[in-house]
Amino acid sequence: AVTRTFSIIKPDATRRNLTGAVTKMLEEAGLRVVASKRIKMSEDQAKKFYEVHSERPFYGELVDFMTSGPVVVQVLEGEDAVKRNRDVMGATNPADAEEGTIRKTYAESIEANSVHGSDSDENAANEIDFFFSKDEIVG
């Protein structure tokens, strides 16, 4: 089925001017950008977005990193969008990511790993709602 997922192009990628290169890989994987905006995440937004990781040792660093520069938040649409996006992103740790994936190609480290993607349809819906209003999404 055609579904939607939520994506973030992270500060390490925007800093290296890779917004287009990353988006091209998403598009070539069969995903369509139906909403997109470049924002600077506030500390409150980052803390709330990553709340599930709040007990992890890397939480503070993760929030600092995600607020360290601009990010591009996107809604992606396609056949099985969550899985399709996770496949093209590759493993969280670029050292484990397969050849041809975004993280293998561009990520600097497990933290500066260039992209975020929702891990389930339910989280995708929540994450899309967190950053976008209905009128900002044009399918």
Contacts with ligand CMP by CB under 6 A lie at: 53, 58, 62, 92, 110-111, 113, 116
Question: How close are the terminal C-alpha atoms of the chain, in Å?
Answer: 15
Q: Which residues are annotated as a binding site for ATP?
A: 10, 58, 86, 92, 103, 113
Q: How far is the CB of 26 from ligand CMP (least distance, A)?
A: 15
Say whether 41 sits in a helix, a strand or coil: coil
Here the tokens at position 36 are 């997109």
Q: Is 53 a catalytic residue?
A: no
Report the greatest alpha carbon distance in the chain.
Answer: 39
Full DSSP string of 90-116: --SSGGGPPTTSHHHHH--SSSS-SEE
For the bound state, the minimum distance from the C-beta of residue 66 to ligand CMP, rounded and expressed in Å, comes to: 8
Which residue, 20 or 57, is less far from ligand CMP as judged by CB? 57
In DSSP terms, which residues pair with 72 in a beta bridge? Answer: 9, 38
CB of 83 to ligand CMP, least distance (A): 15
Which residue's CB is nearer to ligand CMP, number 84 or number 116?
116
- Tell me which residues are annotated as active site: 116
